[in-house]
C-alpha cells in the first residue's frame, strides 16, 4: 500500500529507539548519524477508509457534468458504501431537515440535475427503515452488490467513451479516476 516515513530527533529518537529495542513495533528504522533515526511503517487502509474513498468518488460522480454513466445507480451505491457515521448523521435530525428543505426547494424552485441525485440519496437513507439499511450494509451481499454496481458503471463508462485514450482526456479524467477508484475500493471490500 505504501509507507509512512519520518525522521526522529532528540527525545523522540530516544523513545523510539527504546521501543524498537524492546519489541518489534518499528521494524524499519535506520540510524542517520548521531542525531537522528529514520523510521518507516507500512500504511494501512481500513474498511472505513475504503468506504469513505468510495463514497467520495460516488459523490464526485453525482456532481460531475458530462459523464457517460447512469447516475441513478450511484444512489444505492452511496447508501451501501457510506460509513455508519455518515448514515447515522443522515438519519438524524440534520438529514431530515436537509431532506425537508431540499423537497421544499424542489417544489418551489427549479433544481439543476446535478443536485437531484444528492437529494434522492438523502431521501433514500433518511426514509429507509433502520434495521433494513443497517443490517443490509453490514452483509457480504451488500459488498458484492456494490462491487457489481461499480463494475457495471465502469463497463458502461469505458464502452460509451469508445476509446481508452479518450477516457483520460481533460473532459473525462475526473469521471474516469472516480470510477476506477470506486470500483477498486468496492472490490477490495468484497475480499
36-39 long-range CB contacts below 8 Å, 24 or more apart?
36/7, 36/8, 36/9, 37/7, 37/8, 37/13, 38/5, 38/6, 38/7, 38/8, 39/5, 39/6, 39/8
Q: What is the mean pLDDT of residues 115-125?
A: 83
Band the pLDDT of 148: cuts 50, 70, 90: very high
Q: Rounded to the nearest 5°, which phi and psi values hold at 97?
A: -65, -40
Quick one: average pLDDT of 174-188?
89
Mean pLDDT score across all residues of the chain: 77
Give the Cα separation of 188 and 101 in Å (integer): 36
Q: How many CA atoms lie within 13 A of 1 on its CB side?
A: 11
Among 26-30, 36-40, 147-151, where is mean pLDDT lowest?
26-30
Q: What DSSP state is assigned to residue 112? A: -
> Cβ-count burial of 187 within 10 angstroms (0-12 exposed, 13-18 middle, 19+ buried)?
middle
pLDDT digits (tens, 9 = 90+) for 29-71: 656 666 666 655 555 678 888 888 888 898 888 888 777 788 8
From the list 48, 37, 73, the residue with the least C-alpha distance to 58 is 73
Answering whether pTM is above 0.75, one says no
Distance separating alpha carbons of residues 6 and 56, to the nearest angstrom: 28
Residues 114, 64: Cα–Cα separation, whole Å: 7
Summarised one tens digit per residue, pLDDT across range 96-116 is 888 888 888 888 888 777 778
At 128 the three-state DSSP class reads coil
Amino acid at each position: 500500500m505504501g509507507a509512512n516515513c519520518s525522521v526522529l530527533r532528540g527525545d523522540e529518537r530516544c523513545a523510539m529507539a527504546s521501543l524498537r529495542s524492546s519489541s518489534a513495533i518499528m521494524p524499519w528504522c535506520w540510524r542517520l548519524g548521531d542525531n537522528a533515526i529514520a523510521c518507516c511503517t507500512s500504511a494501512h487502509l481500513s474498511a472505513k477508509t475504503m468506504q469513505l474513498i468510495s463514497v467520495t468518488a460516488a459523490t464526485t460522480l453525482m456532481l460531475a457534468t458530462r459523464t457517460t454513466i447512469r447516475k441513478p445507480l450511484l444512489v444505492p451505491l452511496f447508501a451501501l458504501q457510506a460509513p455508519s457515521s455518515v448514515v447515522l448523521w443522515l438519519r438524524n435530525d440534520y438529514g431530515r431537515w436537509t431532506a425537508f428543505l431540499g423537497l421544499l426547494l424542489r417544489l418551489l424552485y427549479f433544481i439543476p440535475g446535478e443536485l437531484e441525485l444528492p437529494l434522492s440519496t438523502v431521501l433514500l437513507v433518511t426514509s429507509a427503515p433502520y434495521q433494513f439499511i443497517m443490517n443490509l450494509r453490514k452483509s457480504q451481499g451488500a459488498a458484492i452488490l456494490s462491487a457489481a454496481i461499480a463494475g457495471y458503471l465502469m463497463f458502461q463508462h469505458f464502452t460509451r467513451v469508445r476509446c481508452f485514450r479518450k477516457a483520460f482526456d481533460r473532459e473525462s479524467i475526473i469521471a474516469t479516476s472516480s470510477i476506477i477508484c470506486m470500483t477498486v475500493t468496492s472490490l477490495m471490500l468484497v475480499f
